[in-house]
Amino acid sequence: MRGLILAFQFLTRLPMPTLPDVQKEEFTGSAMWFPVVGLTIGVLLVVTAILGSQANHWVAALLVVVLWVAVTGALHLDGAADLADALGASHGRVEDHRETFLAVLKDPHVGTFAVVVLLSIVLSKLVLVAYLLESGASVESGVSIQSCWLLLLVPAWARLGAVYWGQTVKPLADGHGDSFSNQSLHDYVWFWALALVVLSVLLLSFWFTVLAILSLFLWGVFLQRRIGGMTGDCLGAGIEYCECAMLLAAALIL
């Protein structure tokens, strides 16, 4: 249970019991529960969407996105912002400007690149969630069952991605990203991947499942080729980008 509590403490702002004497190995092991945290976030998003849709789908979408940000404490948005500024400052291949990249990545200040990325992510989620909630909406709940399954599974897929990237991309520096590079998590990645594949095929569609897997894979490729490794900010950014990619995929094919 300590690992589950640690996972919720790290990825969300939901109230959790305080755990004394947390070891690094426990924090690493908590990653096996990341998809569970994603599913819990998904449940909150679904409830919010259903309640908000009693007004209209744009109100529902706004409430969903606000909750999405609030429940995570903007943790992953912060990673996306830091990564955007670091990439903008490093100009070209990161390997040629590694010190600059890492220095800007750790800088708490927000630059132009970060602002543009943050606005793009939030607006993309707002528009896509509104469209998906309106598409095929039912009279009873105001939202379609398919949209509910989507909001449930997308956060779980994205947080599985964080564990997957930690396993497959080498860390650039010590930090949270380095904690998830432990190969003891390998079996859990496959277990959750299989579980989410089955749920996505049964509840959504085969093609959505393919595109969800592809989004995780492509972000890992980007980290390897463009950056040459990963940090905790890279994992957080990947969660945000893959959530947007999966929502867009759903809007196009479902």
Over residues 97-109, the pLDDT tens digits come to 788 888 899 888 8
Q: Which range in 10-19, 95-104, 148-157, 228-237 is most confidently predicted, on average pLDDT?
A: 148-157
Residue 143 — pLDDT band, cuts 50, 70, 90?
A: confident
Report the alpha-carbon distance of residue 1 to residue 17 in Å, rounded.
Answer: 11
The answer to whether the CB of 35 falls within 8 A of the CB of 108 is no
Question: What are 230's two structure tokens?
Answer: 């990963």
Segment 14-33 mean pLDDT: 85
> What type of residue sits at position 149?
W
Instruction: State the average pLDDT over residues 237-246.
Output: 98
How high is the pLDDT of residue 141? 56
pLDDT at 211 (0 to 100): 97
The neighbouring-strand residues paired with 171 are: 230
Q: Which domain holds residue 140?
A: 2-253
pLDDT of residue 176: 61
With 50 as the cut, is the pLDDT of residue 239 above it?
Answer: yes
Residue reference for tokens 């070891």? 23
**pLDDT for residue 139:** 47
With 60 as the cut, is the pLDDT of residue 242 above it? yes
Arithmetic mean of pLDDT, 160-181: 81
Residue with tokens 């690094």: 24
Q: How confident is the model at residue 182 (pLDDT cuts 50, 70, 90)?
A: low
Residue 175 has pLDDT above 80, yes or no: no
The domain tally of the chain equals: 1
Instruction: Write the DSSP symbol of residue 15.
Output: -
Highest-scoring range by mean pLDDT, 14-23, 100-109, 185-194, 241-250: 241-250
Contact (CB, 8 A) for 129 and 58: no
Q: What is the pLDDT of residue 101?
A: 87
The set of residues, in sequence order, having a beta carbon less than 8 Å from that of 218 and lying 6+ positions away, is none
* Inter-axis angle of helices 112-134 and 75-90, nearest 10: 130
Section 148-153 average pLDDT: 96
